[in-house]
Structure 1
Amino acid sequence: MSIPPDLELSDAAAAAAEVDVLVIGTRPGASADEGDDDGVPVPPLLVGADDVDAAFGGELASLLSLAGAAGAAEEVVKLPSRGAITAPLLLAVGLGPESSSAGKQGAPDLAEQVRRASGAAARALPKSATRIGSTLSSVDLPAAVEGTVLGTYAFTDYRSAPDGPLRTVTFHGGPAEQERLADAAITARAVCAARDLINTPPNDLYPAEFARRAVEMAEAVGLEVEVLDESELAAAGYGGVLGVGTGSSRPPRLVRLRHVHPDATKHVALVGKGITFDTGGISIKPAANMDHMTSDMSGAACVVATACLAAEQNLPVNVTATVPMAENMPSGTAYRPGDVLTMYGGKTVEVLNTDAEGRLILGDAIVRACEDGPDYLVETSTLTGAQTVALGSRTAGIMGSDAWRDRVAGAAAGTGEGGWAMPLPEELRADLDSRIADIANVTGHRFGGMLVAGIFLREFVAEGVPWAHIDIAGPAFNTGGPHGYTPKGGTGLPVRTLAAVLADVARQG
């Protein structure tokens, strides 16, 4: 389990902060063609560091330029202070060009620039540093807090070496901003909690254990809890969850968490896919990169973490999380291509591919979630490889009811997690027609796979319920190098989007 840093505020001068490392921000100075005639590098612009610059005799930007700083996004330059300030080490991190001048679609806004810069700085801290100061909070406090907490994240449960140092981070700000710091910290720690679940290997996080940990997290913050085991799932008719889980020696579960607020006027249902490991079943996956399927429960992890966040922040909105959990394995008891499953609620599904298992457990969960009569429903899952083909590894695909889909996509953009609204073309529904059942779980072709999966899920949403599906197949698990506040492995996306959606509903209904 990652241990987040302790966080505090101080309105004292940053130059006098009693810390091991002081973090400041930079931006690019004049563009290259506006530099001087001798080709001397243009010093970066300092961000939130006036008193620090004064301590360096007004020459800090020039000194940083000599050390190679140009203010580029996530660029880190370290400068020994040699007594000019109290901190022995100054760490300058680039925010990149001003948001307004970045201009192009998809460019990060100011908050996301601060978030990424804070994360990059946190990842670059010396291992021995235990006391950190940051002036980036003077630009955007919540973003600096989120970026720092997420950037310091490290999953070390399975390493024999000792954990890194316990750290205290002091942000520039006064006592009046304590509530903003606390809210940002709750959000960031919820993301870290989801990352911990995602990064736990599948031999230790099977359905029953996942359910146990979800219950432990939920009870710690006062959520109402319900867990259905395999016998209860069978008695209630959860054919999708049971069908997928029948090939494993470790039976499935369904977890329900509920946050109730006395002043709430709206109810949001959250649903997350909890496949604790996905071999593909009888339609087995290739061996290459199958280890990444330890992350196939990312949607469930994020939904559990978000429900706990709603309770911690005491959001005035009712939230119910419905989380199906199963392990998709090949065995003599596994479900087969050609089987027909009777889903919760009675709809029948012809299984043409056992590797399209997530939509089966989600179909059950969506029907159950809709029985509560929610005003809105949001489901998230690592559902289709087609998502990465269409949108790459960092951009989620968001589908569903047009107006609600766009509202969720707006929340995703506002948090910096991002996402792109996608259509559900009606003509693709016919491709899911089954020879013998109400619907098939896949089509006979590879076109529009992400959209087809969304259309399949739509079949299980109750009439009149605005719903959105967030496909996070790529963004949920970073298989490349770390960047900004995103580590290698589980990312915890879209916890911040879901949190923003709940906060938006609490404000506006």
Structure 2
Amino acid sequence: MASVSVSTSKPTTARADALLLGVRTDDDLGEFADALRAVGFTGEKDQVAVVPAGDLAKVKAVVAVGLAAEPTAEDLRRAAAAGLRAAPKGTTSLAVALHPAGVDEVTAVVEGLQLGSYRYDTYKTPGKDADGKDKIKPRIDDFTVLTPFARQTTTTTAAEQADVVSGAVNLARDWVNTPPRDLRPPAFADSIVTEAPDNVSVSVWDEKRLAKEKCGGILSVGQGSDAPPRIVRITYKPRKPVTHLALVGKGITFDSGGLSLKPPVSMQTMKCDMGGAAAVVAATFAIARLGLPIAVTAYACIAENLPSGSATRPGDVVTMRSGKTVEVLNTDAEGRMVLGDGLTLAVESGADRIVDAATLTGAAMVALGDRTAAVLGNDDDLRDLVLAAAQHAGEPTWALPITEEMKGFVTSSNIADLRQIGPKPYGGTLFAAAFLREFVAEVPWAHLDIAGPAFNDGGVRGYTPTGGTGAGVRTLVRLARDLAEA
């Protein structure tokens, strides 16, 4: 990631290749008013214009971005990303004058810069494309945020913490974007071990340990693949934790649907089906790097869902780690099976609260679209904490209920304790959450269904790139911070 610093310099004296200037009112145009008006810039919200700085500043170019009169943190994140994308070719350093009004606004600006500058070009080869443009675009590697609060310790700390959280989001994005052949379950587990900070402990359960520990749910999902499943446990234990949070993530590194095979077009983005595990792991690493006084135990439940002669069949009955039996009726509803074992382990860890994140149901996308995550759970207070954390972080979420009839649907199997999919083609997100609720006992639990926002298969928008988005990371880190400060 790029380096970020804060400075009290004025826009006209800041030294960089270009200046990103936020414009709320005519007063913000300053010395650049004539040049910007000459190109039709009016300062309307989200409008972007680029003009040469000439002798008016130490920079070569000015990128102006229109802001609301009182921009929100989300406005600043998006403006930072829009401005850096508009910077002239060859810009490697950018001074940013978005007029943050306080520490929270500095955090938002840094997040917008670091998240907006993300690109995944690991598999691109250097050279020119058919239009003569560089295949790998040069990066801006230095940002200076201009703020009158730059000399305050709280401002420096806020920028550093925003860097940590943004780095975690971008790590999750990298994992989601990695081609599925290169991030099969053992490789994903190895990468988690490699990326872990020094103040966490990581243990990996292979297929033999999973069998010994009777984790039948995740084994049933992974048994069709020649790359066996893994559960990765990450433990962060500060000296005097104020509470203990367990996080559980769905980590299906590729989801073909198993024997209940998906249509080919539906498989094209199924490398993203480990987005929940990526979010949970990256968030735990960020919480540890921030040194928050909250204990976290995270479980990444990793498997590859493929068809083969050894794959689970519709009609099979699986015994979960909890001891409950499940009638499998659709092998494409595999996420709830790996999460069932992970949630049981989370209960066994003695956590005060449990939150899981998963690209779980297409039904959540039908209900809420592809930019909003669903939040469900067994505890209204925890659900509301997750919703508030998401709002503060700038991640759209919406609460959905686990309706009364879903309990009866989940327990309606004729041959097992639970059935894995509902008897009706409605309310799939609600049924899935009701199924997961069977594995959390009485522990307060919230479920974050990120099926829609975890992967962007459209164009870049705001600070959200095409491909993996890192959805859920900022919400989980914010939740941990809120619990630590409660």
TM-score interval, normalised by the smaller of the two chains = over 0.9
Mapped partners of 1:71, 1:436: distance in 2: 66
Deviates more, 1:150-159 or 1:9-18: 9-18
Alignment deviations for residues 146-187 of structure 1 (CA, whole Å, 9 cap, x no partner): 000000000110000256235110111323221111011111
Q: Any unmatched runs of 5+ in structure 2?
A: 127-135
Which residue of 2 is the match for residue 14 of structure 1?
Answer: 11
Match of 2:92, as an amino acid? T
Which one of 482, 500, 503 corresponds to residue 460 of structure 2?
Answer: 482
- For the pair 1:271 / 2:233, whether they are aligned, the reply is no
- For the pair 1:179 / 2:157, whether they are aligned, the reply is yes
Mapped partners of 1:257, 1:445: distance in 2: 37
Matches within 5 A, 1:16-55: 16-27=13-24, 45-46=25-26, 49=28, 53-55=29-31
Match of 2:255, as an amino acid? D
Alignment deviations for residues 331-379 of structure 1 (CA, whole Å, 9 cap, x no partner): 1110010000000110110000000000000000000011011111110
Change (3 A) 1:205 1:446: same
Superposition deviation, residue 18 in structure 1: 1.2
Mapped partners of 2:309, 2:89: distance in 1: 50
- For the pair 1:353 / 2:330, whether they are aligned, the reply is yes
Match of 2:20, as an amino acid? V
Which one of 436, 439, 448 corresponds to residue 470 of structure 1?
Answer: 448
Superposition deviation, residue 73 in structure 1: 4.2
Match of 1:21, as an amino acid? A
Which residue of 1 is the match for residue 234 of structure 2?
Answer: 257
- For the pair 1:68 / 2:40, whether they are aligned, the reply is yes
Change (3 A) 1:273 1:71: farther
- For the pair 1:245 / 2:226, whether they are aligned, the reply is no
Which residue of 2 is the match for residue 113 of structure 1?
Answer: 75
Mapped partners of 1:95, 1:437: distance in 2: 58
Contact 2:61 2:88 in 1 (8 A): no
Superposition deviation, residue 10 in structure 1: 1.3
Change (3 A) 1:195 1:264: same
Contact 1:72 1:97 in 2 (8 A): no
TM-score, normalised to structure 2, is 0.94
Change (3 A) 1:72 1:213: farther
Deviates more, 1:178-187 or 1:131-140: 131-140
Which residue of 2 is the match for residue 192 of structure 1?
Answer: 170
Identity %: 45
Change (3 A) 1:195 1:137: farther
Change (3 A) 1:238 1:72: farther
Alignment deviations for residues 220-258 of structure 1 (CA, whole Å, 9 cap, x no partner): 332111100000000110000000000001000000001
Which residue of 2 is the match for residue 392 of structure 1?
Answer: 369
Which one of 342, 347, 360 corresponds to residue 383 of structure 1?
Answer: 360
Which residue of 1 is the match for residue 303 of structure 2?
Answer: 326
Mapped partners of 1:92, 1:46: distance in 2: 12
Alignment deviations for residues 188-242 of structure 1 (CA, whole Å, 9 cap, x no partner): 1110111011100100000000000111111x33211110000000011000000
SS in structure 1 of the partner of residue 372 of structure 2:
coil
Which residue of 2 is the match for residue 122 of structure 1?
Answer: 84
Mapped partners of 2:439, 2:67: distance in 1: 44
Deviates more, 1:491-500 or 1:166-175: 166-175
Q: Any unmatched runs of 5+ in structure 1?
A: 28-44, 100-109
- For the pair 1:153 / 2:131, whether they are aligned, the reply is no
Which residue of 2 is the match for residue 36 of structure 1?
Answer: none
Change (3 A) 1:54 1:301: same
Mapped partners of 2:417, 2:87: distance in 1: 56
SS in structure 1 of the partner of residue 311 of structure 2:
coil
Which one of 399, 415, 418 corresponds to residue 439 of structure 1?
Answer: 418
Aligned alpha-carbon RMSD (Å): 1.4
Mapped partners of 1:88, 1:164: distance in 2: 17
Match of 1:169, as an amino acid? F
Contact 1:131 1:169 in 2 (8 A): yes
Which one of 54, 61, 79 corresponds to residue 51 of structure 2?
Answer: 79
Superposition deviation, residue 93 in structure 1: 1.4
Deviates more, 1:326-335 or 1:288-297: 288-297
Contact 2:15 2:58 in 1 (8 A): yes
Contact 1:24 1:92 in 2 (8 A): yes
Mapped partners of 1:86, 1:316: distance in 2: 43
Change (3 A) 1:389 1:65: farther
SS in structure 1 of the partner of residue 73 of structure 2:
helix
Change (3 A) 1:73 1:247: farther
Mapped partners of 1:46, 1:19: distance in 2: 24
SS in structure 2 of the partner of residue 377 of structure 1:
strand
Contact 1:137 1:143 in 2 (8 A): no
Which residue of 2 is the match for residue 33 of structure 1?
Answer: none
- For the pair 1:90 / 2:66, whether they are aligned, the reply is no
Change (3 A) 1:246 1:20: same
Match of 2:308, as an amino acid? S
Superposition deviation, residue 136 in structure 1: 1.5
Deviates more, 1:71-80 or 1:197-206: 71-80
Match of 1:353, as an amino acid? N
Mapped partners of 1:211, 1:250: distance in 2: 12
Which one of 470, 473, 476 corresponds to residue 492 of structure 1?
Answer: 470
Mapped partners of 2:298, 2:262: distance in 1: 30
Contact 2:94 2:140 in 1 (8 A): no
Match of 1:381, as an amino acid? A
Match of 2:418, as an amino acid? I
SS in structure 1 of the partner of residue 180 of structure 2:
coil
Alignment deviations for residues 381-410 of structure 1 (CA, whole Å, 9 cap, x no partner): 000000110000101000002111011011
Which residue of 1 is the match for residue 141 of structure 2?
Answer: 167
Matches within 5 A, 1:306-317: 306-317=283-294
Mapped partners of 1:192, 1:284: distance in 2: 31
TM-score, normalised to structure 1, is 0.89
Contact 2:22 2:99 in 1 (8 A): no
Superposition deviation, residue 126 in structure 1: 2.8
Superposition deviation, residue 429 in structure 1: 2.0
